[in-house]
Amino acid sequence: GENVEQHPSTLSVQEGDSAVIKCTYSDSASNYFPWYKQELGKGPQLIIDIRSNVGEKKDQRIAVTLNKTAKHFSLHITETQPEDSAVYFCAASMNSGGYQKVTFGTGTKLQVIP
Protein backbone atom coordinates (compact mmCIF):
# COMPACT_ATOMS: atom_id res chain seq x y z
CA GLY A 1 0.00 0.00 0.00
CA GLU A 2 0.86 3.66 -0.14
CA ASN A 3 3.21 5.12 2.48
CA VAL A 4 3.40 8.86 3.11
CA GLU A 5 6.20 10.37 5.14
CA GLN A 6 6.00 13.93 6.43
CA HIS A 7 8.70 16.20 7.85
CA PRO A 8 9.27 17.95 10.14
CA SER A 9 7.00 16.74 12.92
CA THR A 10 7.18 20.14 14.63
CA LEU A 11 8.06 23.55 13.22
CA SER A 12 8.38 26.91 14.97
CA VAL A 13 8.68 30.11 12.98
CA GLN A 14 8.56 33.80 13.75
CA GLU A 15 5.50 35.67 12.58
CA GLY A 16 6.08 36.91 9.04
CA ASP A 17 8.58 34.19 8.16
CA SER A 18 7.90 31.34 5.76
CA ALA A 19 7.17 27.74 6.68
CA VAL A 20 7.83 24.69 4.53
CA ILE A 21 6.51 21.19 5.14
CA LYS A 22 7.68 18.28 3.02
CA CYS A 23 6.11 14.94 2.16
CA THR A 24 7.19 11.92 0.17
CA TYR A 25 5.04 9.10 -1.13
CA SER A 26 5.90 5.63 -2.28
CA ASP A 27 3.39 4.63 -4.95
CA SER A 28 3.67 6.28 -8.36
CA ALA A 29 -0.04 5.54 -8.90
CA SER A 30 -0.98 8.35 -6.48
CA ASN A 31 -2.48 11.19 -8.50
CA TYR A 32 -4.05 13.62 -6.05
CA PHE A 33 -2.36 15.35 -3.11
CA PRO A 34 -4.46 17.36 -0.63
CA TRP A 35 -3.21 19.29 2.37
CA TYR A 36 -5.26 19.65 5.53
CA LYS A 37 -5.10 21.99 8.50
CA GLN A 38 -6.34 20.69 11.83
CA GLU A 39 -6.95 23.07 14.70
CA LEU A 40 -7.28 21.86 18.27
CA GLY A 41 -10.55 20.07 18.85
CA LYS A 42 -11.61 20.19 15.21
CA GLY A 43 -11.55 17.92 12.22
CA PRO A 44 -9.06 18.43 9.37
CA GLN A 45 -9.96 21.10 6.83
CA LEU A 46 -8.72 21.12 3.25
CA ILE A 47 -6.53 24.15 2.55
CA ILE A 48 -5.07 23.35 -0.86
CA ASP A 49 -4.67 20.41 -3.20
CA ILE A 50 -2.75 19.51 -6.32
CA ARG A 51 -3.20 16.92 -9.04
CA SER A 52 -0.47 14.90 -10.65
CA ASN A 53 -0.67 16.77 -13.95
CA VAL A 54 0.30 20.06 -12.25
CA GLY A 55 3.68 21.02 -10.80
CA GLU A 56 2.68 23.96 -8.66
CA LYS A 57 -0.43 25.64 -7.29
CA LYS A 58 -0.81 28.82 -5.30
CA ASP A 59 -3.63 30.31 -3.26
CA GLN A 60 -2.75 33.63 -1.62
CA ARG A 61 -0.12 32.85 1.04
CA ILE A 62 -0.22 29.09 0.50
CA ALA A 63 1.48 27.17 -2.29
CA VAL A 64 2.08 23.51 -3.03
CA THR A 65 4.69 22.00 -5.30
CA LEU A 66 4.82 18.48 -6.70
CA ASN A 67 7.77 16.55 -8.10
CA LYS A 68 6.37 13.32 -9.54
CA THR A 69 9.77 11.95 -10.48
CA ALA A 70 11.03 12.23 -6.92
CA LYS A 71 7.61 11.39 -5.44
CA HIS A 72 7.86 14.51 -3.34
CA PHE A 73 5.46 17.35 -2.59
CA SER A 74 5.69 20.37 -0.32
CA LEU A 75 3.52 22.99 1.34
CA HIS A 76 4.79 26.55 1.52
CA ILE A 77 3.21 29.18 3.76
CA THR A 78 4.51 32.72 3.37
CA GLU A 79 4.08 35.69 5.72
CA THR A 80 2.97 33.39 8.51
CA GLN A 81 0.47 34.65 11.05
CA PRO A 82 -0.39 33.37 14.54
CA GLU A 83 -3.65 31.95 13.20
CA ASP A 84 -1.62 29.64 10.96
CA SER A 85 -0.63 27.72 14.11
CA ALA A 86 -2.14 24.24 13.78
CA VAL A 87 -1.30 20.69 12.75
CA TYR A 88 -0.90 20.23 9.01
CA PHE A 89 -1.36 16.90 7.23
CA CYS A 90 -0.39 15.96 3.73
CA ALA A 91 -2.11 13.10 1.95
CA ALA A 92 -1.73 11.05 -1.21
CA SER A 93 -4.66 9.58 -3.08
CA MET A 94 -4.83 6.91 -5.78
CA ASN A 95 -7.39 4.87 -7.67
CA SER A 96 -7.97 1.55 -5.95
CA GLY A 97 -10.64 -0.83 -7.18
CA GLY A 98 -12.50 2.01 -8.88
CA TYR A 99 -12.38 4.31 -5.88
CA GLN A 100 -9.87 6.79 -4.60
CA LYS A 101 -7.92 5.68 -1.53
CA VAL A 102 -6.38 8.41 0.65
CA THR A 103 -3.30 7.92 2.84
CA PHE A 104 -2.34 10.63 5.32
CA GLY A 105 1.06 11.70 6.56
CA THR A 106 1.86 11.83 10.26
CA GLY A 107 1.36 15.57 10.63
CA THR A 108 3.43 18.69 11.32
CA LYS A 109 2.66 20.88 14.30
CA LEU A 110 3.31 24.45 13.21
CA GLN A 111 3.77 27.15 15.82
CA VAL A 112 3.93 30.75 14.69
CA ILE A 113 5.52 32.93 17.35
CA PRO A 114 4.17 36.50 17.48
Partner 1 sequence: EAGVAQSPRYKIIEKRQSVAFWCNPISGHATLYWYQQILGQGPKLLIQFQNNGVVDDSQLPKDRFSAERLKGVDSTLKIQPAKLEDSAVYLCASSLVSPGTGFRGTQYFGPGTRLLVL
Using CB under 8 A as the criterion, which residues of the chain lie in contact with partner 1 when the complex forms?
4, 6, 31-32, 34, 36, 41-46, 49, 51, 89, 91, 93-107
Nearer of residues 36 and 73 to partner 1, judged by Cβ: 36
Smallest separation, CB 104 to partner 1 (Å): 3
Nearer of residues 41 and 114 to partner 1, judged by Cβ: 41
Smallest separation, CB 79 to partner 1 (Å): 25
Nearer of residues 73 and 105 to partner 1, judged by Cβ: 105
Smallest separation, CB 24 to partner 1 (Å): 14
CA distances from 56 to 39, 85, 109 (A): 25, 23, 23
Q: Long-range contacts: 93-98, Cβ < 8 Å, 24+?
A: 93/30, 93/31, 93/32, 93/33, 93/34, 94/2, 94/27, 94/29, 94/30, 94/31, 94/32, 95/29, 95/31
Smallest separation, CB 100 to partner 1 (Å): 4
Nearer of residues 72 and 104 to partner 1, judged by Cβ: 104
Q: Based on the number of CB atoms within 10 Å of its own CB, is 73 exposed (0-12), middle (13-18) or buried (19 or more)?
A: buried
